[in-house]
Amino acid sequence: MSTEKIMNIDERRKYLSIEKKRYDAASRAERSHLRAILSRGDMEEITGLHRKSILRLFQDGLERHPRRRQRGRVYGTEAEEAVLLIAESLDYPCAERLTPVLLTTAQLLEAHHELSLSPSLRETLQKVSISTVRRIIRRSGKKTTPLFPRSSPRPPNPTLRDVPMKRISWNESQPGHFEVDLVQHSGPDTSGDFAYTLQMIDVATGWSARRALLGRSFLVMEDAFRYLLAQLPFPVLEIHPDNGAEFFNYHLARFWQQPAYCHIQISRSHPYRKNDNRIVEQKNYTLVRAYFGHQRLDTVAQTLLLNRIYDQMNPYYNLFQPVLHLSEKEPIFLAGKYIRSKRHYDAAQTPFARLCATQAITSAQQEKLERLRLAINPRSLRQEIYALIGDLCSLPGAIPGQVEDVFLTLAEPLIDRKESGTLR
């Protein structure tokens, strides 16, 4: 009998309880028939239990009792320390994301002399289960932070009428379809100018890119888009933001009509429906808020340091951090009526691995990214990111009445754009 057809313990008890009720209520002849079924092996075939085990359950009762003696740990201290070291290097992802990449990350850490892999440890990391990894992380005391409340949606902009409303499909397989959003770093006071984070997430691969900007004028938005589009290793086919005026105005509409970008499709989410941008909304917390919280950032120095952090975070998350992708939505019905969908996820992979499985990049680009991945120590990179975050928290905020020069935050100076003819 194949493993996928064997009942679990709850299903077996439910089936046997039905048969036991029939047996207790049956006549003498019917009980003989049920015994014949049991002796023939039909119940053994259905439940996967031995005949003696079935008889014992019928006689002693089918109620489940707590285990009198807990099972001991299968894996020793060496395996637990290795799992925690790998989890720390990847910033403590969930067990479902961490378990599939334990061995590959351990080999990478061994190459950078962060971990020593013995044959037994290598075998353990290859076969350890998700539940065991979850228990190890739980015992270490690491807990996830609750989500921050989402901000209220903004009213639609009149320039949106020619932009189609849609939602990028959850099973989009072609890289290049990006959900885009802007995260503000205003703190409790939203007055004046402050920093924003422009974030782009590819739906098919989970590849992410971020850029900090001071204010949200057309000048800094254009500069951020130019920078991010130039950094991506594969072509952008679609930009899908929300309905904010920072994305949809006459200046940016003219920007997207330039020959270098006119092939990119521009779409938007439905008003007041944040689920249309559900992937980037979720990443706004895990990749931005989880690092910087709701601290107010409003100076040139803070914006420049924020971009230094993002330049380190981009390879860290794209080359090393495994992500889960939705693979199936199973509809659940009750009494013939649809209730909800049960979501199934595939095995966790890094955005780089998902990108290599497509035809979106050339072999030369793939080899270049692979060399970069092998040259980086993920643990050291994480420590560098957190050190820069500490430096960011120590920087003073803007002085009231003092003007900050936003031109100093641009990745491409205005003089370069005038010479290239891209500034109008």
DSSP string over 271-311: TT-GGGGHHHHHHHIIIIIHHHTT----SHHHHHHHHHHHH
With bands split at pLDDT 50, 70 and 90, how would you rate the model's confidence at 76?
confident
d(CA 71, CA 371): 44
Nearest in space to 285 (alpha carbons), one of 416, 154, 146? 146
Give the pLDDT confidence score for residue 282 in this predicted structure: 93
As given in the structure block, the two tokens for residue 127 are: 């076969």
d(CA 160, CA 166): 13
Q: Tens of pLDDT along 301-313?
A: 999 999 999 999 9
Give the pLDDT confidence score for residue 307 in this predicted structure: 96
Domain boundaries along the sequence of the chain: 3-60, 77-139, 158-420
CATH code assigned to 158-420: 3.30.420.10
Averaged over 222-229, what is the pLDDT? 95
Residues of the chain above pLDDT 70, percent: 88
Computed over every residue of the chain, the mean pLDDT equals 86
Q: Between the ranges 14-18, 112-116, 409-413, where is the mean pLDDT highest?
A: 112-116
Q: Strand (E) positions, 70-223? A: 177-185, 195-202, 208-214
